[in-house]
Amino acid sequence: MSKFHVLMITAFSILLAVAPGWLGGQTPPDAAGNPSRPETVNPHDPVLNFEFAWKALDRNYGQFMVKRVDWDALYRVYRPMVTSATTDQELWDILLSMMGHLNDAHLALADGKRRISGGRNNGLFTNDAFSLNLVESKYLQGKFTEALGGSFISGWLAEGVGYLYIGDLKDGLGPITKTIDTVLADFAKARVMVVDVRNNPGGTGRAVEIVAGRFADRRRFFGTNRTRYGPKHDDLWPEEFRHIEPAGPLQFTGPTVLLTDRISASAAEGFTLAMRVLPQVTVVGDTTEGALSAQFPERMPNGWTLWVAFKETRDHEGVGWDGVGIPPDLRVINTAADIAAGRDMTLEFAVKFLEKGAPALQDEPKSLVDLKKSLVDEYVRQAEDKGVEAAVVMLNRERAAKSGIYYFVPDEIMQQAVSFLARREYAEALGLLRACREDFPKLAHTYAMLAQALIGSGDVAAAEAIMKEGETVEPMFSWERSQIEQAGLALRKAKLGSAAELFGKALAEGGVSAAEKKLQELLAGRESNGPVFDEVDFNALGYRLLQDNHPESAVFVMEKTVGLYPESWNAWDSLGEVAAKAGRKEQAIASYRKSLELNPNNKNGRAMLDQLEKEQ
C-alpha cells in the first residue's frame, strides 16, 4: 500500500482520483478553492457545508443544460432551510432533496456508514429479482469457471449455448483482457451466447471497450462523452467519441443476448451502449439504472463525501439515458417471487429466444456514421513508429486542418501524458501537452504537467516560466490544486536539490554515521532555502533500499522518516512493512499500531497487524 502510494504520486497519476490537498488535516477551502482561515472555521457548520456542496455542484456538475435545471433557483429554495442550528440528519436530508431534482444516480452523499444517491431510482430496486446462485445451481450444466474473484463466471446453459456472467468491471485491464480471451477460447464451439450484466454496479470505461471488442464485427461508434470544465454550466469540452472494434485473438459474432436489469449501472451501462450497436446482439431484461456519467469524490468540510457527476454521456444516436436508464430490446423481468420459486424467467426466455427464435441481425447504421479517430492515439502510434518529431509534426498538421476525421480532447490527452511521464518519455509528453495548452489554454493542470515534463527533460527555467504562466489560470477541479502543488515542489527540488537524495547518497557512500551527519546538516538548512524535504522522497528511498536487498538500511531510513514526519500514518505504515521484512516483528507491530492510531481506516495496516499478532 505504501509503495503504491509513492508510485502514484511519482507517476503523477492523480488525474481523476486524488483527493483535495486539504484532506491531510489542512483547513478546507470552499468549493471555489478559496482558502479559509483556520481560527474562524468550524468544519461542522451546517451553513458552510451546504454552501460547499452547492458550489461544488455549481462548478462541476455536467448536465445542467441537458436537464434544464435552474440551480440558482434551487439555491433560493433550499439555502434558507439551513441555519447554524440545523442537525446533521437535517442537512443530509436537505442536500439529498436538492440533489434529487437533478435525478442523477452518480450524484451521491456518503458519510462512512451509508451512501445515498440523488437518482430517482435510489432505493426503489433491489437485487432480490436475480440470483447468481440460482443460475449456477440450476441453469449451468456441469462445471463452470470462476475468474477474478467471481467477477467473471462462465459455463454452458445447453449444448452450444455459452453463458458469461460479468459481476463487475473493476479489476485491472490486464486481468480483464486475459480473462475474456480465455472465456472466448473456452466457447470455441458455442453457437450462441448469453452475456449477463444483471446486478453489475460498474467499473472502468476502458474495460467496457476491451470486453465488448471481443464481440465486435467491425469498428463501430457507440457513444460520446463531454466533460464539464469552466465556471459556466455550458462550459463543456469537445466530444470524446467512443468506439469498439474487433480485438483479441478471438471474437464471438454469433447470436448473442445481453441480459440487463435495474441494478445494471455505470460501466455496465456503458457496456450495454457498446453491445447494443452490434447487429447480432439483442438486449433482454429490464431498463438499466441510468447512471452513465463519470463521477469523482469531493470531501466536504465535515468529512462527508460528495460524489459529483461531471460528464455528459450520450449514445450513438445522441440520446442521453442518465436518470432514465437504457431500455432493453425485449423487456422480460423477474420478480422476487420467481427467484424464490427457483425460476429465472429472463434467462429462460433468453435461451428459448436464441434456440427457437433464430434472431435476425439488427442493422445499426448510425454506429457506422461518425467513425472518428483519436488524435491522441494517432500521436502515440506515430511516436512509436516514426519518432517524436514526426509525431509532433503530424499532430500540429491535423489540429490545424480541422478535417473532422480526428477528435482531440483533454481527458485522453491527460491520461496519455500521465503514461508518458511515468515512463520518463518527456519529449513525447511535451509534444502532446504543448498542443493541449494551445487548444485548451484554460485547463489548469496542463501547466503543472508541462512543468513536470520540462523538469524531467532538464529545462528548469522553462518549467519555472510555465508554472508562472499557469498562475493566471483558475483551476476548476479540487485535485488540480494538489497537482499544481506537486509540480511546484518538483520545481523547488530541481532548483535546490532533494534532502532525501543527499541523505541517501551519504548513506550509500559512508554508512549510517555519514548519513546521520548529513541529515543534521540538512536539517540545519531546512528553513534557509536549503534542499527540499519531502516525505514521499524519504519513503521512496526506503523502499528502493528494501528492493535492493538492504533491509536494515531500509529500516534506518524509515525510522528517520517517522522522526521527520511523526504524524504521518503512511510513514509509520511503511516502517511497519520494512521492519517486518527485516525480521523485526516487535518493531513492525508497534509501527502498525501507531499507523492505525493516526488513521483507523488504514486497511492495509490492520491486515498486516492482525497477521503479525497471529504469528506471535
For domain 499-615, say whether CATH 1.25.40.10 is its number.
yes
In the predicted structure, residue 123 carries a pLDDT above the cut 80: no
What is the bridge-based pairing of β-strands 295-299 and 305-309? antiparallel
Residue ranges of the chain that CATH labels 3.90.226.10:
130-368
Amino acid at the residue 152 = F
Which carries the bigger pLDDT value, residue 228 or residue 205?
Answer: 228
Residue ranges of the chain that CATH labels 3.30.750.44:
19-118
Q: Place 125 in a pLDDT band, splitting at 50, 70 and 90.
A: low
Contacts of the segment 435-438: beta carbons below 8 A, 24+ positions apart:
435/395, 435/396, 435/399, 435/408, 436/410, 438/399
DSSP 169: B
The answer to whether residues 10 and 418 touch, using CB atoms and an 8 Å cutoff, is no
CATH second-level architecture of 19-118?
2-Layer Sandwich (3.30)
The answer to whether residues 28 and 43 touch, using CB atoms and an 8 Å cutoff, is yes
Ramachandran bin of 232, using left for φ above 0, alpha for ψ from -120 to 50, beta for the remaining angles: beta
Summarize pLDDT for 182-199 with one digit per residue, the tens: 999 999 999 999 999 999
CA 47 vs. chain centroid, Å, equals: 30
Q: Place 14 in a pLDDT band, splitting at 50, 70 and 90.
A: very low
**242 beta partners:** 223
Q: DSSP characters for 40-76? A: T--TT-HHHHHHHHHHHHHHH-S-HHHHT--HHHHHH
Torsional sign, CA 355, 360, 364, 368:
positive
Summarize pLDDT for 557-608 with one digit per residue, the tens: 999 999 999 999 999 999 999 999 999 999 999 999 999 999 998 988 999 9
Percent of the chain with pLDDT over 90: 83
> Up-side HSE of residue 584: CA atoms within 13 Å toward CB?
18
Residue 136: exposure state from Cβ atoms within 10 A (0-12, 13-18, ≥19) = middle
pLDDT reported for residue 124: 59
CA 598 vs. chain centroid, Å, equals: 26
Query: Alpha helices of 108-239 — where are they, by DSSP H?
Result: 132-134, 173-186, 205-212
Summarize pLDDT for 486-534 with one digit per residue, the tens: 999 999 999 999 999 999 999 999 999 999 999 999 999 887 788 999 9
Q: Which three cell numbers stand for residue 165?
A: 456472467
In the predicted structure, residue 610 carries a pLDDT above the cut 60: yes
In the predicted structure, residue 297 carries a pLDDT above the cut 80: yes
3-state secondary structure of 528: coil
Nearest to 558 by CA among 507, 549, 20, 543: 543
Kindly report the pTM of this predicted structure.
0.84
Cβ density class 242-264: b for 16+ within 10 Å, e for less: bbbeebbeeebbebbbbbbbbbb
The answer to whether residues 153 and 196 touch, using CB atoms and an 8 Å cutoff, is no
Measure the CA–CA gap between 420 and 403, rounded to whole angstroms.
27
The fold of the 130-368 domain, in CATH, is 2-enoyl-CoA Hydratase; Chain A, domain 1 (3.90.226)
DSSP 227: E
